[in-house]
Every structure is written in structure tokens, then in C-alpha cells.
Amino acid sequence: MIPELESFNLPILSLVTLTPAFGALLLALIDSNSKALIRQVALMVSFLGLLFSLIMVGNFDSSVGVMQLEENHSWIESLGISYHLGVDGFSILLILLTSFTMPFVFMSTWKAVDHRVKEFHIALLLLQTGMIGAFVALDLVLFYLFYEAMLVPMYLIIGIWGGKDRVYAALKFFIYTMVGSLFMFLAILYLYNHAGTFDLPLLLERLKTTHPLDGIQQFWLFLAFALSFAIKVPLFPLHTWLPDAHVQAPTAGSVVLAGVLLKMGTYGLLRFAIPLFPDAAMDLREEFCWLAVTGIIFGACMALVQTDIKKLIAYSSVSHLGFVVLACFMTDVESLTGAILQMVNHGLSTGMLFLMIGIIYERRHTRELADYGGLASVVPVYSVFFIIAVLSSIGLPGLNGFVGEFLILFGVFRADPLWGMLAATGVVLGALYMLKMVKAFLFGPVVHEVNKEVKDLNMREIIYLSPFVVLMVWLGLYPSSFTNLVEPTLSLYVQLLQN
């Protein structure tokens, strides 16, 4: 059974967040030649993280929408920076997604990464702490620290373990994101100057009552936050770092990037940018929605003409996250629930797709579609898993992707039928590029002799792919076990926005 936290007084959020970082410390002590030990320890640590986040969910009261399991300690008192953590409906599924993804990411790298193993695992564990930390932080400076802390390990993962043009891609990723966060940092400091606190709940309170912002201030501050998050999403036209980063990143990097990191952008919009500056957000709503709709269609069109599988999926992320951004600017529970589900769904389906492309890359060392074809007859089990991931990605009803898409499109259509209709074309386009890819990748005759020797999935691979399939079906057929966690928070949020 789930331990009752009150009796232990366990700082569960700290445990979820910091366990990977401690694991990284532990790894630092291990001799870098004992690769097997390093891999095992990293895996154990990540499973421990998953266990802690399951305990967190068990102690989460889904009947109320307020911030829960809070930990608040003053940290740098002179500057008013506190160590303030909390979890609510916005973050709980994303934390779960992160701790769920990581163990399987570790399992996937056993063969793929063989040089600088120790550094690689340390980087991944630090990345995990950064991501979860950003999801639980309720102090703007603390959030910013975690947010930036993700950047460095990701930069290293792409830059050291990446492909041929890894340096260009890593730098592009770093600079793009850095530019965005610079403006956000300025905005955070400005807010402190204005309202005298970095604490998010306190800040929300003060902006509403004692320290209101005028229109121009809101406008610029919102823009600074939104720019940073829009780059992270990435929102059209700020997306060109993503295909490069994905193509060059090693499998683990791509999975984390697509699975979790991109959600930081949409999470940031929902947690910070929109609630802090609601008037500005609503003023700029139209512009952002148009960008999101453009991104949905544009990303899909781009995916259609790619010849590199990783690039294709990178562009599909641009398209899929367009749905989420669109929903972030809605003010009804349906779309917002859809937004959060879609973040999780995209993490699962795209994460799994990248894992699978990593598997085939390990065997054939190419990502060009033209180098494949006819794999279904050589690697049938692989093909089944791949097709399931594709179906989840194109939103087949009964699997996870559909639920989020349906809720989003419904909410958007109700708010504005034109956006709804345009966004919905993404559903057709998604099938178009994905099935085109499947056909070129798996079907047809085996044109290249080398492909006849490709080995099918081994047990380890089946083990780390299967949980993804289980979750896809679970979320597709019984999403209420997840939406229940989210809904109360969203109802509160919507009430706040509408007042």
C-alpha cells in the first residue's frame, strides 16, 4: 500500500526531484570503467524516482484543485528567494511522465552509448532533476534555476554524444533557448522589483490586489515570458532549432527532448505566463492562436517532405504541439484538459517513436527513409510496435492520442469554428505524413540487401517498449483515471481567468 506521508512527514517532492541528482553524485564516485555498474545504478536510481512519483500520486488528493504536498523553506532570505515546491493538476501528470520515461531511456542506451558512459549517465540524471524541478518549483528564481539547469546537460548530450553536425545543432539549441530565457529572467527581476517577491502564489495574489500591473507592463512582461516558452515548445516560426537538435541528438537525447523537454514550454505558458499576465495573454490570444494553427499545418507540411525519419518526427512535434499551444489560450476546462493530456500523449508516442528509431539506427546506422523499405517482413515484432506508436501519434480512437486531440479540437471549435476547422486538418495531414513514412519504412519489397540481415527486437527492447503500449491503451480507453487528477485544478484556473 501507499505509505501515508503525514505520519512520516516525508518531503516527497524533494525526493522526486533530487533523487536523480543524488544518483548523479553517486555515479561520480564510481570508476568510469565499470560501465555495467554505472548503467545499473543509473537505472535503479531512475526506478527509485518513478517509485517516489507514484507515492506522490498516491498522496495527491484529486478532489481539490489547490497546490498540494507543498514544501516551503526560505533559502536566500536577503533576496526573498525560497525553496518552494508544490504539485497540482498542471504538473502532476508531467512529473509522472518524466519519471516514467527516464528508466526506459536508460534501458535504451545500454548498447547505444559506449564512450564516456559515466558522464553520459550523470548528464541524463541531472537533466531529470532539472525537468522535474522545473515542474514543481513555485518560486520564480528556483524555477529559473531548474529551467536553465536542463540546458547544460542537454547541450552536452547533443554536443558530445550526437551525430556528425552535433556542434552546430547543440549551439543552435543552446543559443535559441538562452535568448529566450534571458528575456524571461529580466522579466522575473522586473516582477520582483515591482511586487517584492519571487514566490509564485504570493506574486499572483499581489498582482491581483496590492500591486496591479498596467497594460503596457503586462504586455511586455507577458511577451518576455511567452517568448522564452514559445522557443521551447517550439512555436512556429521559432522552431528551426528542433529538427537540427533531434537529428543530431543521440536517441536518449531525442527521447527526453521530445518526451519531456518540449512540454516545458507549454507548461510554462499555463503555469506562469498566462496566469501572471491574464489581460495581456487575452489581448495577444488571437496572434498566438494563429501562430499555433499555422504551426499545426506548417509542421505537418514540412513533415510530409522530409527524407530523414528523425527530422520527420521532429516536424510532427511542431505540428502536435501546435495543438497544445492553441489549447493553452482557451479558457475552458475541456481544451485545457486536452492540452495536458496531449502533452502526455505526445511524450508517449513521440518518445516511443524516437526510441524505436534509435533501435533501428543502432542496427543500420542511417536515418534516411530511402535506405529502408520492406522491414515488416524482416522485423515483424519491431513493425508491430512501430505501427502502434504511429497509430497513437495520428490519434486513432481507442489509443491515447485521440482523447487529447478530441478535447482540444472540441474546445477550440466551440471558441472559434474557423480555428477549430483549420486545426482539425492537422488530423488528416498527420495521417498523411505518418502513413507515407510507414509505407516507405516498413512496407514494400526489401530493396537493400543489408536490410535482410537486420535483427528483430530483443527481450530488453520489448521490455522497455511495452510499458509505452500499455499506457497508450490505458489512456485511450480509461483516460478518466488521469483526467480526474487534472480536472479540479483546471476548474479553479478557469474560474480565476474568467473573473
Partner 1 sequence: MDSNLLWIPLFPFLGFLINGILGKRMGNRTVSIVASVAPLLAFSVAFGAWRKIVSDTGVSALHWDGFPWIWLDGLLEVPFALHFDGLSAVMCLVITGVGSLIHLYSIGYMKGDPGYHRYFAYLNLFTTFMLLLVLGDNLLLLFIGWEGVGLCSYLLIGFWFQDDANCAAGKKAFIVNRIGDLAFLLGMFLCLIHFGTLDLAALVNADNISQVATETFEGSLFAGMGVITGIALLLFIGATGKSAQIPLYVWLPDAMAGPTPVSALIHAATMVTSGVYLCCRLMPLFQAAPMALSIVAVVGACTALLAAIIAFTQNDIKKVLAYSTVSQLGYMFFAIGVGAFSAAFFHVVTHAFFKALLFLGSGAVIHAMHHEQDMRKMGGLRKQLPFTHITFLIGTFAIAGVPPLAGFFSKDEILFAGYQAGIMEGDTLSRLFWYVSVATAGMTAFYMMRCVAMTFWGDSQVDPKLEGKVHEPGGWIGFALFVLAIASALGGFLNVPEFLGGHAILGHFTGLHVSPTDLTKDELVALHAGEFTSMFISLAIAGAGLLVGFLFYRKGSGLPAAFRNSPPGAFLGKLSENKFYVDEMYAAVIVRPFEAISQLMHTLIDQVLIDKLLVNGSALLVRGLGELFRRMQTGFIPGYLLTFGCGALVLIYILLNSMAKAGAQ
* Interface residue list for partner 1 (CB under 8 A): 148, 152, 155-156, 172, 175-176, 178, 182, 185-186, 189-190, 193, 237, 240-241, 298, 301-302, 304-305, 333-334, 337, 374, 376-377, 391, 396-398, 403, 406-407, 409-410, 413-414, 417-418, 420-421, 424-425, 427-428, 431-432, 435-436, 439, 442-446, 477-480, 483, 487
Of 113 and 188, nearer to partner 1 (C-beta) is: 188
Place of cell 553520459: 120
Of 180 and 358, nearer to partner 1 (C-beta) is: 180
Evaluate whether 75 touches 83 at the Cβ level (below 8 Å).
yes
* Nearest distance from C-beta of residue 3 to partner 1, angstroms: 29
* Nearest distance from C-beta of residue 13 to partner 1, angstroms: 25
**CA torsion through residues 275, 276, 277, 281, sign:** negative
Q: Grid coordinates standing for 359?
A: 533501435
* Nearest distance from C-beta of residue 424 to partner 1, angstroms: 6
* Nearest distance from C-beta of residue 367 to partner 1, angstroms: 17
CA proximity to 350, closest of 292, 299, 424: 299
Question: Please, which residues have CB within 8 angstroms of residue 235's CB and are 6 or more apart in sequence?
Answer: 265, 288, 291, 292, 295, 321, 322, 325
CA proximity to 497, closest of 304, 277, 168, 253: 277
* Nearest distance from C-beta of residue 26 to partner 1, angstroms: 21
Whether omega before 234 lies within 30 degrees of 0, making that bond cis, reads: yes
* Nearest distance from C-beta of residue 497 to partner 1, angstroms: 16
- Beta partners for 68? 87
Evaluate whether 476 touches 468 at the Cβ level (below 8 Å).
no
Does residue 256 sit in helix, strand or coil? helix
Distances from the Cα of 260 to the Cα of 238, 267, 362, 378, 485, angstroms:
18, 10, 23, 32, 19
Of 42 and 486, nearer to partner 1 (C-beta) is: 486
Evaluate whether 447 touches 378 at the Cβ level (below 8 Å).
no
CA proximity to 276, closest of 192, 357, 394, 353: 192
Of 34 and 240, nearer to partner 1 (C-beta) is: 240
Q: Grid coordinates standing for 454?
A: 537486420
* Nearest distance from C-beta of residue 388 to partner 1, angstroms: 11
Of 261 and 312, nearer to partner 1 (C-beta) is: 312
Of 34 and 307, nearer to partner 1 (C-beta) is: 307
* Nearest distance from C-beta of residue 470 to partner 1, angstroms: 14
Query: H helices within 162-196, ranges in order?
Result: 166-195
Of 112 and 473, nearer to partner 1 (C-beta) is: 473
Does residue 44 sit in helix, strand or coil? helix
Of 124 and 403, nearer to partner 1 (C-beta) is: 403
